[in-house]
Chains A and B, each alone.
Chain A
Amino acid sequence: MYEFTHHAATSVADAVGALGEGKFLAGGQTLLPTMKQRLAMPGHLVDLGKVAELRGVEEKGDVLVVKAMTRHVEVATSALVARAVPGLEKLAGMIGDPAVRNRGTIGGSIANNDPTADYPAACLALKATIVTNTRRISADDYFTGLFSTALEDGELITAVEFPKAKLHYAKFPNPASRYAMVGVAIVKGADGVRVAVTGSGGDGVFRWSEAEAKLKADFSAGALEGMKADAAGMMSDIHGSAEYRAHLVGVMARRALSES
Chain B
Amino acid sequence: MTATGIGAPVRRKEDFRFVTGRGRYVDDINRPGQAYAFFVRSPHAHANIRGIDASAALAHPGVLSVLTGDDIAADKVGGLICGWAIFNKDGSPMRAGPHPALAQGKVRYVGDHVAVVIAETLAAARDGAEKVAVDYEVLPAAADIAAARKSGAPQIHEAAPNNAVFDWHLGDKAATDAAFARARHVTKLEIVNNRLAPNPMEPRAAVGEYDFGSDSFTLYTTSQNPHVARLVLSAFIGIAPEHKLRVVAPDVGGGFGSKIFIYAEETVCVWASRKVGRPVKWTCDRTEAFLCDAHGRDHVTHAELAIGDNNRIIGLRVHTDANLGAYLSTFASSVPTYLYAPLLSGQYDIPAIYAQVDAWYTNTAPVDAYRGAGRPEATFVVERLVEVAARELRMDPAEFRRANFVRTFPHQTPVIMAYDAGDYEASLKKAQEMHDVKGFGARKAASAAKGKLRGLGYSAYIEACGIAPSAAVGSLGAGVGLWESAEVRVNPIGTVEILTGSHSHGQGHETTFAQLVSDRLGIPIDNVSIVHGDTDKVQMGMGTYGSRSGAVGMSAIYKALDKIEAKAKKVAAHVLEASETDIEFKDGKFTVKGTDKAADFGTIALNAYIAHKFSGQELEPGLKESAFWDPTNFTFPAGVHICEVEFDPADGVVRIDRWTAVDDFGKVINPLIVEGQVHGGIAQGVGQALYEGAVYDEAGQLVTASYMDYCMPRADNLPSYNVGMTVTPCPSNPLGIKGCGEAGAIAAPPAVINAITDALGHENISMPATPEKVWRAAQGVVPRQAAE
Contact surface of A with B, Cβ cutoff 8 Å: 1-3, 37-38, 172, 175-177, 179, 237-241, 244, 247-248, 251
Give A177's nearest chain B residue, CB to CB.
Answer: B708
Contact of A239 (CB < 8 Å), options: B126, B287, B770: B770
Write out, one digit per residue, whether chain B residues 701-720 have a CB within 8 A of any chain A CB (1) or not (0).
00110011111100000000
Establish whether residues B707 and A238, one from each chain, have CB atoms under 8 Å apart when the complex forms: no
Establish whether residues B775 and A175, one from each chain, have CB atoms under 8 Å apart when the complex forms: no
Establish whether residues A38 and B775, one from each chain, have CB atoms under 8 Å apart when the complex forms: no
17 contacts between A and B (CB under 8 A): A3-B123, A38-B130, A172-B651, A175-B691, A175-B770, A176-B691, A176-B707, A176-B708, A176-B709, A176-B711, A177-B708, A177-B709, A238-B695, A238-B704, A238-B709, A240-B772, A244-B771
- Beyond contacts A175-B711, A176-B711, A177-B709: 12 other A-B pairs, Cβ-Cβ < 8 A, are A37-B287, A172-B651, A175-B691, A176-B708, A177-B707, A179-B708, A237-B709, A238-B704, A239-B711, A240-B772, A244-B771, A248-B651
Closest Cβ of chain A: how far from B663's Cβ, in Å?
Answer: 28
Interface residue? B493 (CB, 8 A): no
Determine chain A's interface SS by DSSP, over half rule: loop
A241 to B708, CA, bound (A): 17
A3 to B770, CA, bound (A): 41
Instruction: Tell which of B123, B126, B130, B770 has the most Cβ of chain A within 10 Å.
Output: B770
Q: A38-B126, A238-B695 are known contacts. Are A175 and B771 too (CB-CB below 8 A)?
A: yes
A37 to B708, CA, bound (A): 14
A105 to B130, CA, bound (A): 33
A189 to B130, CA, bound (A): 53
Give A252's nearest chain B residue, CB to CB.
Answer: B651
Query: 3 closest A-B pairs (Cβ-Cβ)?
Result: A176-B711, A244-B772, A177-B708
Interface residue? B650 (CB, 8 A): yes
Please name all residues of chain B whose beta carbon is closer than 8 Å to the beta carbon of A1 when the two chains form the complex. 123
Establish whether residues A244 and B775, one from each chain, have CB atoms under 8 Å apart when the complex forms: yes
Closest Cβ of chain B: how far from A99's Cβ, in Å?
Answer: 13
Closest Cβ of chain B: how far from A54's Cβ, in Å?
Answer: 28
Q: Restricting to B748-788, which residues have a CB under 8 Å from any CB of A?
A: 770-772, 775-776
Please name all residues of chain A whose beta carbon is closer than 8 Å to the beta carbon of B776 when the two chains form the complex. 244
Write out, one digit per residue, whether chain B residues 697-739 have a CB within 8 A of any chain A CB (1) or not (0).
0000001100111111000000000000000000000000000
Establish whether residues B703 and A247, one from each chain, have CB atoms under 8 Å apart when the complex forms: no
Give B768's nearest chain A residue, CB to CB.
Answer: A175
Establish whether residues A239 and B707, one from each chain, have CB atoms under 8 Å apart when the complex forms: no
A172 to B703, CA, bound (A): 21
Please name all residues of chain B whose beta carbon is closer than 8 Å to the beta carbon of A240 when the two chains form the complex. 770-772
A237 to B126, CA, bound (A): 31
Instruction: Tell which of B703, B710, B772 has the most Cβ of chain A within 10 Å.
Output: B772
Closest Cβ of chain B: how far from A96's Cβ, in Å?
Answer: 12
Please name all residues of chain B whose beta carbon is closer than 8 Å to the beta carbon of A247 when the two chains form the complex. 775
Closest Cβ of chain A: how far from B610's Cβ, in Å?
Answer: 58
Closest Cβ of chain B: how far from A37's Cβ, in Å?
Answer: 8
Establish whether residues B650 and A241, one from each chain, have CB atoms under 8 Å apart when the complex forms: no
Give B712's nearest chain A residue, CB to CB.
Answer: A176
Q: Restricting to B668-702, which residues have a CB under 8 Å from any CB of A?
A: 691, 693, 695
Contact of A241 (CB < 8 Å), options: B651, B707, B772: B772
Instruction: Tell which of A172, A244, A251 has the most Cβ of chain B within 10 Å.
Output: A244
Closest Cβ of chain B: how far from A226's Cβ, in Å?
Answer: 11
Please name all residues of chain B whose beta carbon is closer than 8 Å to the beta carbon of A175 when the two chains form the complex. 691, 711, 770-771
Closest Cβ of chain A: how far from B343's Cβ, in Å?
Answer: 30
Q: A172-B651, A175-B711, A177-B709 are known contacts. Are A238 and B703 too (CB-CB below 8 A)?
A: yes
A68 to B709, CA, bound (A): 29
A2 to B60, CA, bound (A): 14
A218 to B350, CA, bound (A): 63
Closest Cβ of chain B: how far from A252's Cβ, in Å?
Answer: 9
Closest Cβ of chain B: how far from A132's Cβ, in Å?
Answer: 29
A179 to B651, CA, bound (A): 17
Give A240's nearest chain B residue, CB to CB.
Answer: B772
A81 to B684, CA, bound (A): 40
A112 to B772, CA, bound (A): 28
Give A250's nearest chain B residue, CB to CB.
Answer: B650
A3 to B703, CA, bound (A): 29
Please name all residues of chain B whose beta carbon is closer than 8 Å to the beta carbon of A241 when the two chains form the complex. 772
A240 to B712, CA, bound (A): 17
Write out, one digit per residue, whether chain B residues 127-161 have a CB within 8 A of any chain A CB (1) or not (0).
10010000000000000000000000000000000
Closest Cβ of chain B: how far from A38's Cβ, in Å?
Answer: 7
Give B711's nearest chain A residue, CB to CB.
Answer: A176
Closest Cβ of chain A: how far from B408's Cβ, in Å?
Answer: 45
Please name all residues of chain A whose beta carbon is closer than 8 Å to the beta carbon of B287 when the two chains form the complex. 37
A238 to B771, CA, bound (A): 11
Closest Cβ of chain A: how far from B12's Cβ, in Å?
Answer: 26
